[in-house]
Structures are given as structure tokens and as C-alpha cells.
Amino acid sequence: MFFARLLVLTSALAGCATLDEPLPVEVASFAARCSHPAVVRCVAFERHELGQAGVIQWGRSDARVGVFVNGYPPSANLQDRVTLDEAVAASGDTSLRFAMPSGTGAGYGGQFYANFSDDLSVQFDEGDEFFVQWRQRFSSAFLSNRYRPFDTWKQVVIGEGDRPGVNARSCTQLELVVHHKHGAPAMYHSCRGKDGQSAEIVGRRAVPYVADEWMTFQVHVKIGTWYQNDKRYAQDSVVELWAAREGQPSRRVLKTTVDLANTQPQARYGKVWLLPYLTGKDRTQQHADAYTWYDELIVSTERIADPTGE
């Protein structure tokens, strides 16, 4: 109860802070963060989560939670691309590792996705708000390589949730993307679905990526009025991004109001993707083999505490 009160108080205070103020955020273990009543989905990336109903389906793109590589059948061995790593973890025994070897294309590493709930009942509409937090680690080569031609890669996509009979893909009109830009995280939205374009979300602070440690990232979305591509702009949705080095408090990278386009009456936010997708990557380029790891994925309706140094 004490932790719950602290988290609620922190959320209220965070809404009043300016971008340049440190945020008074409580810290908690992964288990404590997952047990908070506002949490709707936690993924620990442990072996016990594999192969059962309601947990990670390996090699499947049509499950509620899954890992797959485009064009590869469910029976394919994905171990050289995406695997559970027993040597590196933010907590527990394993983390999810994606590989990006030399001479590979944009989507070589594959992608993980999770609906916000197995029964698809947890999705977010006008007036709702939610938070997505994850831990991520980068190898030195992943950050130092200069990938041709754009040198940009995605970390996370938050977008439209599945519906009965509809398997939502990562590039939807509701798409919110955290991606690499000039050595630090940035964001854009809409996947060419807002007035025919993708829209950059401008930040005011750069929190540089650092290799070989578990960084923490958190996105906050408060949905205002869905924009209908009718040139009537309300600018009443809020998007925030926080980032933190291991063992340090989160710093707000951006907080801004935007128009979130949604012209599909049944579409709602309800799915998150973890994927080191390198847009347009030149598959002939030779570079050092690179890796990135993900762990401790949490989706919540309230601000999520920073992780302890577990």
C-alpha cells in the first residue's frame, strides 16, 4: 500500500514538473512494479513463459504474445536471430536478445510483440492514458556501427491492438515509435497515416545511449480527441518519453501535445512491439556483429516506478 501511494503521488507530481526538472520517482524491483494494481501486462522474458497459452509463442505472428521473423515459418530455428540469453539479464535468468550480424538487412533480427491483454479486453480509446516501460541493453558495436543508408533504428512500436479476426501489424495509423536519432532516443507517430505522413515528435533533451548497461525507457500516452485527417487540429493528446542510465533516475526526453490520427472506428491502442528494425539497411554492408537485449516489459495505467539496481 505504501508503494501504491508513492506511485500515485509521483504521477501527480510528474504532471506538474517542467521538462528540465528531475522527476520525483519511486524505485522498485521488477516483481514489485509488476504487482502494482495499475499494471495490465508484464513480460519477464523467462523460459517458463514459452509455449503455454497466454505467454510467448515462439515463431508465431498470430498469437496474443509472440516472437517471429518475417517470412520464417513457426518451425524455423530463430536462435541465430532472436533468442533468450542466459548470460545477460536485467533480472531473472534470461533476457530477449536480438542479433544484427554483418551483411544483413533491415528486419534480420525479427520482432517481439504483446497485446496488452490475452483476451484483447485492455485497449485504450479517447480520454484514456497508459504507460509502457522496458529495459534495454546495447552492445558497443550496435551503437558504434554506422548503418547505411540512414543510420537509424527502432526500439519500440506502440500501436493498434488485435481484434477478433484482425491481426494488427506494427505499421498502423496509431503507431508511436521510439527510435534512434543522432545518438539518442526520439519519437514519431502515425506511420504515414496523419495527413498522408508520419509526424516527428520533437524533444528538448538528449539522453544519449550508453553501451553495456541496462537503460530504462518509459512512454506515456494520454489520448485526447482522435484526429480524423480533416485539418481540424485539437492538439489535445499528450506524449511523453523518459530515459535513464542504469542506476540513475529517469529524465524526461520529451513532453508534447499532438494530434493522434485514427480514422478507423474500431482501432484502439493495445499492442507493443520490441524490434531493432534498421530502416532501409544495406544488406551488403560489412560491420561488426551487433546485439541488443530487452527485459522487464510493463504496461500500466499509471506511471511506473524506476527499477532498482537488481
Q: What is the pLDDT of residues 189-208, one digit of tens each?
A: 999 999 999 999 987 778 99
Predicted confidence (pLDDT) at residue 6 exceeds the cutoff of 70? no
Q: What's the pLDDT tens digit per position in 233-251?
A: 999 999 999 999 999 999 9
Q: Rounded to 5 degrees, what are φ and ψ at 100? A: -135, 80
Q: Rounded to 5 degrees, what are φ and ψ at 33? A: -65, -40
User: 248 Cβ partners below 8 Å, 6+ apart?
Assistant: none
Cβ proximity of 2 and 9 under 8 Å: no
On average, the pLDDT of the chain sits at 90
Cell of 84: 533468450
Helix (H, G, I), strand (E, B) or coil at 48: helix
> Which amino acid makes up residue 307?
P
User: What is the rounded average pLDDT of the residues 258-283?
Assistant: 96
* Dist CA 217 CA 209 (whole Å): 11
DSSP string, 192-206: EEETTEEEEE--S--
* Dist CA 75 CA 69 (whole Å): 11
Q: How much is the pLDDT for 248?
A: 94
Q: Rounded to 5 degrees, what are φ and ψ at 45? A: 60, 50
User: What is the rounded average pLDDT of the residues 47-64?
Assistant: 86
Q: Rounded to 5 degrees, what are φ and ψ at 35? A: -85, -5
CA distances from 289 to 81, 144, 239, 275, 295 (A): 12, 11, 34, 17, 21
* Dist CA 184 CA 226 (whole Å): 29
Cβ proximity of 161 and 272 under 8 Å: no
Predicted confidence (pLDDT) at residue 187 exceeds the cutoff of 80? yes
Residues in the chain: 310
Predicted confidence (pLDDT) at residue 21 exceeds the cutoff of 70? no
DSSP string, 10-45: HHHHHHHS-TTSPP---EE-HHHHHHSTTEEEEE--
* Dist CA 280 CA 113 (whole Å): 21
User: 230 Cβ partners below 8 Å, 6+ apart?
Assistant: none
Predicted confidence (pLDDT) at residue 263 exceeds the cutoff of 50? yes
Q: How much is the pLDDT for 15?
A: 37
